Amino acid sequence: MKRYQIIVNPAAGRGEAGKAIPEIERTLESLGLEFDLVRTERPWHAAELAQTAAAAGYEVVVAVGGDGTANEVLNGLMLAKGKSGKTAAMGVVGIGRGNDFAFGVGVERGVEVGCRILAKDKRLTMDVGRVVGGLFPQGRYFGNGVGIGFDAVVGFVALKMKRLHGFPSYIVAALKTIFLYYRAPQVRIEHDGGTIDQASLMVSIMNGRRMGGGFYMAPKAKIDDGLFDLCIASQVSRPRIFALIPKFMKGSQEGHPAITTGRTRRIKVTAVEGVLPAHADGETLCTDGKELSIEILPRAIDVISPLAEGPACR
């Protein structure tokens, strides 16, 4: 029988994940799964636990929490693969603020639905991104995407909110950010399609389709095609930023004169003037970085996903 290591971030979803542990245990037991459950205690603990679990021979390692927990588990599994060649399939139960990683692999938010997907054990092999720069000169892996500029600052602002959570917190944060951060840095963007020199309000490098719990940066992205989907916004006025927000909520921004899209395997973003605030899967890469280099690692890890049951991811 397969062994599952369940890694719970009890602080995720403003403590919702911790409170859900009894339900998680009951549901997994009712589904007949053999599992061990551990709680994270500090930043990067989920990565350490995942790396240890893979080395110990667990077949599936599951992130229970939000995008930060999923990102750490992914990093732990990739580090285990690089160090010992041992890895495990990744599962996710989404109980966080944005749950964009879970959305990208087709897992709806909630304990019961997430556990039932784990029990079905349908797998696909997904691409993984790796970013070098900022706080991570040694590199950091990501599953959903990297955001540079406006959307990174939106995430930083949303994290500071106490009363709002989920997608509403990102909406309010986006409106606040329009007044805090709207002068774009002058950047050089080098990718497979050429070089772009411009003031860029936002550069999104996507493996998944969504960020911020409801902004569709790359609605056509596929997690197993060996390519990033790019969404680059040039400097625009505040009124035009307001007008763009509903388009991102619907994923209809392609074709707008301020938006450049494309696909690439590698990309380097350099701040010629100004600095780069950036995140990977919602985790801070830097607040004042100067250069980020990003590459995709095709079909690098197995993930348990209902997308594997049909052609949705192909």
Q: Assess whether 105 and 245 both reside in one domain.
A: no
Burial class (CB in 10 A: 0-12, 13-18, 19+), 60: buried
Distance CA 102, CA 200 (A): 28
Is residue 308 in a domain?
Answer: no
CATH number of the domain encompassing residue 77: 3.40.50.10330
Is residue 310 in a domain?
Answer: no
Q: What is the pLDDT of residues 216-247, one digit of tens each?
A: 999 999 999 999 999 999 999 888 988 999 99
Instruction: Note down the domain range covering 113.
Output: 3-121
Q: Assess whether 7 and 150 both reside in one domain.
A: no
Q: Which residues of 162-197 are buried (b: 16+ CB within 10 A; e: fewer)?
A: eeebbbebbbbbbebbbeebbebbebebbbeeeebe
Q: Assess whether 138 and 264 both reside in one domain.
A: yes
Distance CA 46, CA 101 (A): 16
Element (DSSP H or E) covering residue 63: strand 60-65
Is residue 36 in a domain?
Answer: yes
Neighbours of 54 (CB within 10 A): 27
Q: Assess whether 76 and 147 both reside in one domain.
A: no
Q: Assess whether 285 and 139 both reside in one domain.
A: yes
Q: Assess whether 179 and 285 both reside in one domain.
A: yes
Q: Is 212 helix (H, G, I), strand (E, B) or coil?
A: coil
Q: What is the pLDDT of residues 39-68, one digit of tens each?
A: 999 999 999 999 999 999 999 999 999 999
User: With 80 as the cut, is the pLDDT of residue 38 above it?
Assistant: yes
CATH number of the domain encompassing residue 281: 2.60.200.40
Q: Assess whether 286 and 155 both reside in one domain.
A: yes
Length of the chain as a residue count:
314
Q: Assess whether 88 and 210 both reside in one domain.
A: no
Number of domains in the chain: 2
Q: Assess whether 276 and 146 both reside in one domain.
A: yes
Is residue 305 in a domain?
Answer: no
Q: What is the pLDDT of residues 169-190, one digit of tens each?
A: 878 888 888 877 767 899 999 9
